[in-house]
Structure 1
Amino acid sequence: MRRAAGARRGWGRAATVAVTVICLAYAPIAMTELWPYARPGAPAPGEWLLGRSVSPEFVAEAVRDRAGPYGRSLAPLIAHSVLGGLLMLLGPVQLLSAVRRRIRLHRITGTVFAVTVYVSMAGAALYLVRTPPEEAFSGAAFWIVLATILVGTVGSVTFGVLAAVRGFPDLHQRWLLLCYGFLMTAPLLRLEWGLLPSLYPGLDLFDINRVAIMHLGALVSFGALLASRALDRRTTVPGLTGTWCPLPVRIAAHLAGAAGLVWITVAFLDEGTAGRRLLLAYLVPYAVTYAVIAARAARAGSRGADWAREEWSLHLAALCLAPAFSAVTVPVLERTLDLDRPTALVAGVGIGCGMLAYAAVTAVSLRILYARELLKRQRKSLDPRADSHADPHAGAPAVAAGVAREGTQG
């Protein structure tokens, strides 16, 4: 047990260091990315690095395709990118201040973080509203994915703030980690711009982006889940009884997911070589994510950690339903946005895992709130004179203790 705990702490430290390094490295790139569009020849470290890791032609193509749409919304986009760089710096501060229990620092930087998210996303929203999907950078599918990430980011930070105000630190933690996961799609996409051309020589940036969005939503939401579970060491939540994922629900989710995967597979295979490439970019990360979550749920059940098993199970059910959601979404996108089948397919699959992860965090939040409400009613029935606010946030001390242990170990 000690060896396993030590290994988990080691992986946690490594993940924290890796995320921090990526954020610190990407912050200046994000802040200066759009300067050349406002003033040709202005410093652009991101373009410089990409030109040397791939080719100058690859960068020139990217700049050429973005010049027109960006020109119509340059001011809000520059605000979005500069503030996005600031968010990359604030994220590690937020995480480390929470782990180290620097409460005052965490609250101050958290307020700045939330306001910055809203203003930065407002700039992105103006760009999306002013830019028709077919004219957006990398086309309509990328526009849809960007819009989905924007909504998910704003929704996550809003629920996180509300949870903090109401005094639910465990829910606050989960929503803010998911929010930052969505924000991490930006630096991770730039990493893929540098790496994927070596795997797929000759692909232009349009196709590289299509490959990337096949799995970025699943990747960042999976990372947020791993971080949430690492910080929450509770074996149970007071008031937790039964499960919201009994065997019939799990079976139904797996059957729906299998049907969705079959439909997605057939649809992509019909698109030839490009379709097979996109299918591979979707299936491999999906399979790895499924295997890890399923193994963690089984392990939690075997050691009697009811709460961990419940959270893993809810996320596993959501992951299973993601392909089914995508399969249903594709024809909806075709009809409502008048998209061709390949574009609707890429967009529908690209947003599936991220949206279902958002739904899973919502279900987990409701599960915790339901358990606390049930506990409150039980206490009131035992002692009618008990003040309903005597213990409004049962379980919060356990989460705080878990965070404190993480800080001591880190």
Structure 2
Amino acid sequence: MSAVAVTVVCLVYAPIAMTELWPYATPGAPAIGEWLLGRSVSPEFVADAVRDRMGPYGRSLVPLIVHSVLGGLLMLLGPVQLLSAVRRRVRLHRIAGTVFAGTVYVSMAGAALYLLRTPPAEAFSGAAFWIVLATILVGTVGSVTFGILAAVRGFPDLHQRWMLLCYGFLMTAPLLRLEWGALPALYPGLSLQDINRVAIMHLGALVAFGALLASRALDRRTDIPGLSGTWAPGPVLVAAHLAGAAGLGWITYAFLDQGTQGRRLLVAYLVPYVLTYAVIALRAARARSAGATWGREEWRLHLAAQCLAPAFSAVTVPVLERTMGLDRLTSLVAGVGIGAGMLSYAAVVVVSLRLVHGREVLRRQREFADLPTGPATATPVGAGGVAGAGEHR
């Protein structure tokens, strides 16, 4: 059901992505996304969005067209990759995967040119949105690169995790458009810039969480040879919870200090965060009860990352204020917007190291088992040397 839902979203969004920038290149050109948004929200909502984007997009129109058209192609290639992997169509999966990886690099290069040419304060929806976009770009490129390396080195389980995370980051684009259509009903009167601020409070966390759920659903192994113990023991989880509680308390206080807008953003962050935490904690407990040592280990590693995300965001906020000269609210939105996604990325790195370490332990155990166990017989030197050598052989 999840695969079907993702496929439907991708098929619907692909033509929207490919035509999104036509009006900026040729005024009056049709754009499916603008047409749908104008009828689901209002023409004025769309007009404000277009007006805010005219300047930033106009300076980097060609790279953005490359990015959006290839982004639409990625929406089509993603389901092909997922379904071919599930159905074990190896040749199709490899061919589509090669095209997919190359398309990711070229598409993200177009987005990178836009970000490099556009100062954060002048970007569409402001500096916070620019920071979140840059983080997603780095996460997408890093994920597909690690996925390629895992496939080349013969780690299909790691390849699967990294490619799912990569596609999760790509899914922020269609999910953001869905929020453009849905959130104005919940918050009438908000501009698109404010809607974007609400959306980035949780989008990165949700797509990374979706990639985790997909990875665990496809990995049915209860234990893995070579893995023993845990990298997330009780004291580590306790420390992570304490750090996360401190970070969460600071974030809550900081948002409440920003008035109505701060409270709205805090709710957009806290509700998905609490639900995600509850699901991960419950899955870890169920894996423990079922004796699934590997499932329990992966859930616990992601639980530790989930706890540390608010602490990471709390530390990031003053850094953004001082290094980029941002105000407190913008730094809060940016710091919280990238926190969960970056910590989920870090969790996949740790999971990868855990699997690689386990395989290295298993390899050394096999090498040790292949060594001769008996003591070597010494051959005397002298007249009986030849006979002794023959008997030894």
| Displacement of 1:76 | 0.4
| Displacement of 1:310 | 0.2
| Displacement of 1:203 | 0.4
Determine the structure 1 residue equivalent to 2:181. Answer: 194
Q: Which of 120, 123, 134 does residue 136 from structure 1 map onto?
A: 123
| Displacement of 1:81 | 0.1
Determine the structure 1 residue equivalent to 2:159. Answer: 172
Q: Which of 255, 263, 273 does residue 276 from structure 1 map onto?
A: 263
Q: Which of 254, 262, 284 does residue 297 from structure 1 map onto?
A: 284
Task: Determine if the alignment matches structure 1 residue 96 to structure 2 residue 108.
Answer: no
Counting matched residue pairs gives 372
Determine the structure 2 residue equivalent to 1:334. Answer: 321
Write out aligned runs for 1:374-385 (5 A).
Answer: 374-384=361-371
Task: Determine if the alignment matches structure 1 residue 35 to structure 2 residue 22.
Answer: yes
Cα deviation digits, residues 58-90 of structure 1 (max 9, x gap): 000000000001000000000000000000000
- CA distance, structure 1, for counterparts of residue 163 and residue 251 of structure 2: 31
- CA distance, structure 2, for counterparts of residue 203 and residue 237 of structure 1: 50
- CA distance, structure 2, for counterparts of residue 287 and residue 343 of structure 1: 23
Letter in 2 for 1:148: T
Q: Which of 239, 243, 267 does residue 230 from structure 2 map onto?
A: 243
Task: Provide structure 1 residue ranges, at least 5 long, that are not aligned to the other structure.
Answer: 1-13, 386-410
Letter in 1 for 2:89: R
Cα deviation digits, residues 32-79 of structure 1 (max 9, x gap): 000110011111000000000000000000000000010000000000
- CA distance, structure 2, for counterparts of residue 66 and residue 215 of structure 1: 23
- CA distance, structure 1, for counterparts of residue 275 and residue 3 of structure 2: 21
Letter in 1 for 2:332: L
Cα deviation digits, residues 301-328 of structure 1 (max 9, x gap): 0110000000000000000000000000
Write out aligned runs for 1:154-169 (5 A).
Answer: 154-169=141-156
Determine the structure 2 residue equivalent to 1:112. Answer: 99
Cα deviation digits, residues 363-390 of structure 1 (max 9, x gap): 00000000000111111111138xxxxx
Write out aligned runs for 1:296-315 (5 A).
Answer: 296-315=283-302
Cα deviation digits, residues 93-133 of structure 1 (max 9, x gap): 00000000000000000000000000000000000000000
- CA distance, structure 2, for counterparts of residue 202 and residue 295 of structure 1: 38
Determine the structure 1 residue equivalent to 2:195. Answer: 208
| Displacement of 1:295 | 0.3
Task: Provide structure 2 residue ranges, at least 5 long, that are not aligned to the other structure.
Answer: 373-393
Letter in 1 for 2:208: S
Task: Determine if the alignment matches structure 1 residue 125 to structure 2 residue 117.
Answer: no
- CA distance, structure 2, for counterparts of residue 237 and residue 349 of structure 1: 35
Determine the structure 1 residue equivalent to 2:343. Answer: 356
- CA distance, structure 2, for counterparts of residue 384 and residue 317 of structure 1: 40
- CA distance, structure 2, for counterparts of residue 286 and residue 235 of structure 1: 27
User: Percent identity, aligned pairs only?
Assistant: 83
| Displacement of 1:257 | 0.4
TM-score, normalized by length of structure 2? 0.94
Task: Determine if the alignment matches structure 1 residue 287 to structure 2 residue 274.
Answer: yes
Letter in 1 for 2:163: L
Q: Which of 287, 297, 303 does residue 316 from structure 1 map onto?
A: 303
- CA distance, structure 2, for counterparts of residue 43 and residue 384 of structure 1: 71
Cα deviation digits, residues 238-284 of structure 1 (max 9, x gap): 10010001000000000000000000000000000000000000000
Q: Which of 23, 40, 48 does residue 53 from structure 1 map onto?
A: 40
- CA distance, structure 1, for counterparts of residue 157 and residue 110 of structure 2: 30
Determine the structure 2 residue equivalent to 1:153. Answer: 140
RMSD value, Cα = 0.6
Task: Determine if the alignment matches structure 1 residue 84 to structure 2 residue 71.
Answer: yes
Letter in 2 for 1:275: G
- CA distance, structure 1, for counterparts of residue 118 and residue 125 of structure 2: 12
Cα deviation digits, residues 163-191 of structure 1 (max 9, x gap): 00111000000000000000000000000
- CA distance, structure 1, for counterparts of residue 250 and residue 361 of structure 2: 41
Task: Determine if the alignment matches structure 1 residue 22 to structure 2 residue 6.
Answer: no
| Displacement of 1:237 | 1.0
Write out aligned runs for 1:249-260 (5 A).
Answer: 249-260=236-247
- CA distance, structure 2, for counterparts of residue 217 and residue 127 of structure 1: 20
- CA distance, structure 1, for counterparts of residue 89 and residue 131 of structure 2: 38
Write out aligned runs for 1:394-405 (5 A).
Answer: none
Determine the structure 2 residue equivalent to 1:3. Answer: none
Higher relative contact order (CA 8 A, sep 6+): 1
Letter in 2 for 1:202: G
Determine the structure 2 residue equivalent to 1:325. Answer: 312
- CA distance, structure 1, for counterparts of residue 272 and residue 57 of structure 2: 32
Instruction: Judge which range, 373-382 or 303-312, deviates more.
Output: 373-382
Letter in 2 for 1:81: S
- CA distance, structure 1, for counterparts of residue 152 and residue 120 of structure 2: 37
Task: Determine if the alignment matches structure 1 residue 63 to structure 2 residue 50.
Answer: yes
- CA distance, structure 2, for counterparts of residue 269 and residue 15 of structure 1: 36
- CA distance, structure 1, for counterparts of residue 80 and residue 27 of structure 2: 34
Cα deviation digits, residues 113-158 of structure 1 (max 9, x gap): 0000000000000000000000000000000000000000000000
